[in-house]
Structure 1
Amino acid sequence: MLGRLKRRAEFVQAAKAGRRAARDSIVLQALPRADGETRLGFTATKKIGNAVARNRAKRRMRAAARLALGASPTETGWNLVLIARDSTGSCPFPSLMADLDNALRKAGVSRT
């Protein structure tokens, strides 16, 4: 089961000390954890659009992360922050999945 990042301090820590991988539809920030648990956080700024557009982008990122990480969890723990970009809400879902897989690979999040 994947946990959630909820506190702002966890998001800030991942941004400052974590690895960063940017793609066309998402930005990934990854920070290794010592306890082996993988936790996810999702964010969409007001640059994305109104509340409807931001919520759509976050729903799509959650679905992509569930498919990418739920089937093959990481062997070590990570704090992962997915940041929406302008195209997150409108790009084809297979493209979003490919961007997430590429970002995970670039950030060094090893999957079994």
Structure 2
Amino acid sequence: MDRLRQRADFLAVANGARVNNPAFVLQSRRRDDLGPVRIGFTVTKKNGNAPERNRIRRRLRELVKRLDPVSMRPHHDYVLVGRRNALSRDFATMLDDLRIAFTKPARHTAEARGQRPGRAAATSRKPD
């Protein structure tokens, strides 16, 4: 399992399917290549200061380490978006939530938002 590190990869996954949970949001996207499963982690600034965001990110990384890789679909990219509730939620409950999120049929966000599937979401970049 590899890590997502490029902003473009995170944006591509953001346009994919989404499963909401109290402590995190799981975003996923199928890739056309035969590479390994890749996963990324992100926590926005509205979830707290830097130490709190880092603690949320560490908890999410530990969840993925303890999860069996068989539950992840091959040739997919995943992004776990941390929520503030991840700080206080029981770790075993979060692990169960993650297992369920990988088995749930996810809804596609482009359809849910009323966008066309191939269209990119708005980015935070300022126009030139």
| TM over 0.5, shorter chain | yes
Instruction: Give the aligned length.
Output: 105
Question: Closer, same or farther in 2 for the Cα pair 1:3/1:107, shift >3 Å?
Answer: farther
Contact 2:72 2:102 in 1 (8 A): no
State how 1:1-112 maps to structure 2 within 5 Å: 2-16=1-15, 18-34=16-32, 35-70=34-69, 72=70, 74=72, 76-107=74-105
Task: Report how far residue 74 of structure 1 moved.
Answer: 3.6
User: Gapped runs of 5+ residues in structure 2?
Assistant: 107-128
TM-score (norm 1): 0.86
- Secondary structure of the equivalent of 2:55? helix
Segment of structure 1 superposing worse, 88-97 or 5-14? 88-97
Write the letter of the residue equivalent to 1:12. L
Task: Report how far residue 4 of structure 1 moved.
Answer: 0.4
Question: Distance in 2 between the 1:95 and 1:89 partners?
Answer: 12
Question: Distance in 2 between the 1:26 and 1:107 partners?
Answer: 16
Structure with higher Rg: it is 2
Write the letter of the residue equivalent to 1:79. D
User: Gapped runs of 5+ residues in structure 1?
Assistant: none
Task: Report how far residue 36 of structure 1 moved.
Answer: 4.2
- Taking every aligned residue pair, what percent have the same amino acid on both sides? 36
Question: Closer, same or farther in 2 for the Cα pair 1:46/1:75, shift >3 Å?
Answer: closer
Question: Distance in 2 between the 1:23 and 1:31 partners?
Answer: 18
TM-score (norm 2): 0.76
Question: Closer, same or farther in 2 for the Cα pair 1:39/1:26, shift >3 Å?
Answer: same
